[in-house]
């Protein structure tokens, strides 16, 4: 999957790595890419289901979870809502669980902060780097995260969107990659469009007792 209509700019290939298999996401901790994208599309029946469901039924959640308890935590989060059971819902919970396990292994942590958000505003409109070591973002519904290359303080160039359904691993300010500040990201501007996105975020937690 090419996120550019033409050939990608050379800085893109230096900063962003696309993989086809989730086991290859480990390149995020092994090499100097500030962004690694698992290029995929959701199965059409899953994408249609999540696009058409009443967004008021989709749960917002913030929880610290152990990597071995992601699935049961999600079952609690989603059972508190009123989404009817379906194969598509089962797939979604299993997918989030898998992404959490893969990401915790890459980041070498036992605990993660799980965030699920229904987003209808320009939540992070400015291009930025987050104050974390690394972050996994997967947009299941609506436009994906926008990334761009920082040319100077005031200009971000070569802007592209992470495809909907494709998880992206992003380096943060607390990471030690020397090129970590060259790649910025933001939520896509959607305010006023009536679009509701559904976004998963995982952050690594080093010390769960110090977290609220």
Phi, psi of 139 (to 5 degrees): -95, 110
Query: 6 vs 126, which CB is nearer to Fe ion?
Result: 126
Residues with Cβ within 8 Å of residue 162, at least 6 apart in sequence: 3, 37, 137, 139, 144, 145, 146, 147, 168
Q: Which residue is nearest to Fe ion (CB)?
A: 130
Does position 130 interact with Fe ion (CB under 5 A)? The reply is: yes
Which residues, 6+ apart, have CB-to-CB distance to 120 below 8 Å?
A: 55, 190, 191, 194, 195, 196, 197
* Maximum pairwise Cα distance, the chain: 49
Given the rule CB under 5 A, which of 80-88, 100-108, 129-137, 195-203 is the region that contacts Fe ion? 129-137
Q: How far is the CB of 147 from Fe ion (least distance, A)?
A: 10
For 125, the token pair is 């409109």
The one segment of 28-36, 103-111, 124-132, 157-165 that binds Fe ion by CB under 5 A: 124-132
Strands 16-19 and 35-38: parallel
Regarding 95 and contact with Fe ion (CB under 5 A), the answer is no
Helices (H), the chain: 10-15, 27-30, 44-52, 70-79, 87-107
Count of positions on this chain that bind Fe ion (CB under 5 A): 1
Task: Return the range that interacts with Fe ion (CB under 5 A); candidates 2-10, 130-138, 147-155, 191-199.
Answer: 130-138
Candidates 23-31, 62-70, 128-136, 173-181 — which segment interacts with Fe ion by CB under 5 A?
A: 128-136
In the complex, minimum distance from the CB of residue 143 to Fe ion, in angstroms, rounded to a whole number:
15
Answer yes or no whether residue 175 interacts with Fe ion by CB under 5 A: no
Which CB atom, from 130 or from 175, has the smaller least distance to Fe ion?
A: 130
Q: Residue numbers of the site for Fe ion (CB under 5 A)? A: 130
């Amino acid at each position: 999957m090419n996120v550019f209509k033409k050939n990608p700019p050379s800085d893109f290939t230096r900063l962003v790595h696309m993989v086809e298999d989730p086991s290859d996401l480990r390149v995020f901790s092994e090499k100097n890419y500030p962004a690694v994208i698992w290029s995929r599309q959701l199965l059409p029946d899953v994408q249609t289901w999540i696009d058409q469901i009443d967004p008021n039924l989709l749960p917002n959640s913030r929880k610290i979870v152990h990597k071995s308890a992601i699935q049961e935590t999600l079952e609690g989060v989603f059972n508190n809502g009123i989404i009817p059971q379906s194969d598509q819902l089962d797939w979604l919970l299993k997918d989030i669980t898998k992404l959490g396990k893969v990401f915790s292994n890459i980041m070498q942590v036992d605990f993660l902060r799980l965030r699920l958000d229904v987003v209808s505003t320009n939540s992070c409109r400015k291009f930025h780097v987050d104050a974390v070591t690394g972050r996994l973002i997967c947009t299941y519904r609506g436009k994906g995260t926008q990334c761009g290359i920082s040319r100077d303080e005031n200009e971000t160039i070569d802007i592209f969107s992470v495809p909907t359904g494709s998880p992206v691993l992003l380096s943060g300010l607390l990471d030690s990659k020397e090129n970590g500040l060259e790649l910025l990201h933001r939520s896509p501007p959607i305010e006023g469009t009536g679009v509701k996105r559904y976004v998963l975020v995982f952050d690594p937690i080093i010390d769960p007792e110090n977290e609220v």
